Structure 1
Amino acid sequence: MSWEAAEEHFASNIYYDATFKCDAAKLLPGEYYYTDKEMLIVTVLGSCVSACIRDRVKGIGGMNHFMLPDPGGDGDSPVSPSMRYGTYAMEILINDLLKAGAKRENLEAKVFGGGNVLKGFSSINVGERNAQFVRDFLRAERMRVVAEDLNDVYPRKVYFFPRTGKVLVRKIKELRNSTLAQREAEYASRLKVNTVCGEIDLF
């Protein structure tokens, strides 16, 4: 898969989670992670969405954390830069799972996020667009969605255990600081500058 200015990166923030007594990977916007180990993947979502995808037989799984760029004048056509970016964010995770030994017919997904927490976008609510995109993408891929918690107005903290498929979701009713909003706003700004271009090979 060849893309210029790709904004999706393999997460590098690995730490020991004392609560769950296992290693954990923390995802920031634009990151993804997959593993076949007994560990945890965690992220905090506002307007962004995460797909937790795993091979239910082999226990290989991963999570991404992405946002569609504001399309500006491109609209929501399937070939707009924003749709192509969302496709890239999903395919890079799926392709890495397949390379790690997962079988496409065994893949299942749980999807989260898309809250109405970011203001100032010129298009319709970006959280709703993100949520609709991930649903449409997985339907087109014929991948079974076994759980979802999308939209609403609250940020979420998501804990995903790839080996078992277990997911814990905590809705954050009160943000104690503006870190999440700032992080997503900065990520959105990067996406506006770094337009996705290049070729894509899906398999």
Structure 2
Amino acid sequence: MKKPDHIIEIFLQPGEFYFGDRDTRIRTVLGSCVSITAWHPKLLIGGMCHYMLPTRGTAKPAEPDGRYADEAMVLFLREIRAVGTRPAEYQVKLFGGGNMFPGARQNKHCVGQNCLSEENSACRSVSCRNSKIARHLVEINGFTVTAEHLGGDGHRQVFFDIWTGHVWARQNPVTSPMIVIESARIEQD
């Protein structure tokens, strides 16, 4: 994973998007957020988004906001059109959607990969919804998914080398159990 000396490294914060050329490595850290990477194997260009929520749910502003999956996809499509390419020419990889609070399942069906199944529409966790919308958006926009690493517990570190198209993801499990304090009573003397 050693990078050549001339490579610039971009770190994406939540809600950010970057599209660049062969001289770029993009990296990020994901919890329940999802990153979509898109790489053009002939032109050696590509990008990554790091979105936080599936959709804004209200009227869209004039400029898309990368914090929302549907608007991050608009940013991708804008860049792809600007360089005269089509979504079908890109290899797409999906990462993230980790459950950061495994002790606080919102739905008994949201366990492991089950929450990502199309049959389970009852799951309301952000991580599951983020993963589902990623698959949906790439499909309806004509991208080809070549790999994905979605769901599970914990966060991921993601590195995308545009000069090769390689993406590395390291998933780190939640190291300490979540402690939920339902109520606390303080007695005074």
User: How far does the alpha carbon of each residue in 1:108-140 deviate from its partner, in whole angstroms, 9 at most, with x for none?
Assistant: 21000001115798x811000000000011111
Which residue in 2 is equivalent to 1:167?
167
Runs (5+) with no aligned partner, structure 2: 107-122, 177-189
Which residue in 2 is equivalent to 1:40?
25
Which of 58, 72, 86 is equivalent to 1:89?
Answer: 72
Which of 10, 16, 34 is equivalent to 1:25?
Answer: 10
Which residue in 1 is equivalent to 2:83?
100
Post-superposition offset of 1:32: 0.9
SS at match of 2:134: helix
Counterpart CA distance in 2 for 1:56 and 1:41 is 16
SS at match of 1:94: helix
User: How far does the alpha carbon of each residue in 1:28-71 deviate from its partner, in whole angstroms, 9 at most, with x for none?
Assistant: 00001111132210000000000001222211100000021687
Counterpart CA distance in 2 for 1:82 and 1:139 is 23
Runs (5+) with no aligned partner, structure 1: 1-16, 72-79, 177-203
Counterpart CA distance in 1 for 2:175 and 2:43 is 37
Which of 89, 92, 107 is equivalent to 1:109?
Answer: 92
Matches within 5 A, 1:9-88: 19-21=2-4, 22-68=7-53, 80-81=57-58, 85-88=68-71
Over the matched positions of the two proteins, sequence identity in percent amounts to 32
* Residue identity opposite 1:99 in structure 2: A
Post-superposition offset of 1:94: 2.6
- Compare the two structures and name the one with the higher helix fraction: 1
Counterpart CA distance in 2 for 1:35 and 1:106 is 16
Q: 1:115 to 1:174 in 2, by over 3 A?
A: closer
Give 4+ residue runs of structure 1 displaced > 6 Å after superposition.
none
- The 8 Å contact of residues 46 and 115 in structure 1, kept in 2 or not, is answered as yes
TM-score, length-scaled by structure 1:
0.65
* Residue identity opposite 2:145 in structure 1: V
* Residue identity opposite 1:67 in structure 2: M
Counterpart CA distance in 2 for 1:137 and 1:159 is 22
Q: 1:25 to 1:87 in 2, by over 3 A?
A: same
TM-score, length-scaled by structure 2:
0.69
Which residue in 1 is equivalent to 2:110?
none
Which residue in 1 is equivalent to 2:153?
153
* Residue identity opposite 1:141 in structure 2: N
SS at match of 1:65: strand
Counterpart CA distance in 2 for 1:173 and 1:100 is 39
Matched, 1:129 2:112: no
Counterpart CA distance in 2 for 1:139 and 1:98 is 17
